Amino acid sequence: MSLLAPHFKLEPASCYVDARCPRYKVVVPAEVDLAPLLPYLNAVAKVIYYDPGEPALVFKFEGLKVAVRRDNVQIGPVPDAEVGRRAKERVEEFLERVWARKENISPRYEPRSLPPPLEIYRRLPGTNCGRCGELTCMAFAVKLASLEAELSDCVPLYETPEFEEKRRELEALLA
């Protein structure tokens, strides 16, 4: 039996980081209760947020955010239905693969969330040098907080000895 229904709908998605980005999310009903899958996803996916009480889990997948709840999966942002359909297929394939391998995965039941951008920003060099591709350290912190950037993109953290302690703190914070 499939985890997800074959059909989906597009809904408007808010995008607070970049006003030019696509503004839809794919909403796919579940065919089964997805709650038992979440601890396994929590063990293997790039998890942004996991609340076992809700239960809900959000993870990063091929540049998309995927939110999994008991009765549906939401994927976004996507620009149109065709891109949404392909994203749905890839996410579904990933979820099915995790479920099929669950005997070999140690589930993680503890809640998870990434640190808020301000906590990250306080530990960045604060020079706004732009070498990470962002205009400011704060913009980079926002991207790090949603797994849209890698810490190693901030080159000064790695090549300037005076930032070594901050880098260690950030590595621990984002681990």
Q: How far is the CB of 136 from ligand SF4 (least distance, A)?
A: 6
DSSP 123: T
Tokens 């849209």 sit on residue = 148
CA distances from 124 to 16, 133, 145 (A): 22, 14, 13
Q: How far is the CB of 20 from ligand SF4 (least distance, A)?
A: 20
Q: Could you give phi then psi for residue 19, rounded to 5 degrees?
A: -65, -15
Cβ proximity to ligand SF4, 17 vs 155, nearer residue: 155
Cβ proximity to ligand SF4, 21 vs 135, nearer residue: 135
| Spatial contact of 39 and 107, defined as CB atoms under 8 Å apart | yes
Helix (H, G, I), strand (E, B) or coil at 1: coil
Q: How far is the CB of 171 from ligand SF4 (least distance, A)?
A: 14
Cβ proximity to ligand SF4, 38 vs 139, nearer residue: 139
Taken as a whole, the chain contains a residue count of 175
DSSP 136: S
The helix (H) or strand (E) run that includes residue 139 is: helix 137-145
Cβ proximity to ligand SF4, 118 vs 129, nearer residue: 129
Which positions from 106 through 165 interact with ligand SF4, judged by CB under 6 A? Answer: 124-125, 127-132, 134, 137, 140, 154-156
Cβ proximity to ligand SF4, 59 vs 140, nearer residue: 140
Q: How far is the CB of 21 from ligand SF4 (least distance, A)?
A: 20
Q: How far is the CB of 128 from ligand SF4 (least distance, A)?
A: 5
Site string for ligand SF4, 27-56 (x = CB under 6 A): ------------------------------
Tokens 């070594």 sit on residue = 164
Angstrom distance (rounded) from CA 38 to CA 42? 6
Positions in the binding site for ligand SF4 (CB under 6 A): 124-125, 127-132, 134, 137, 140, 154-156
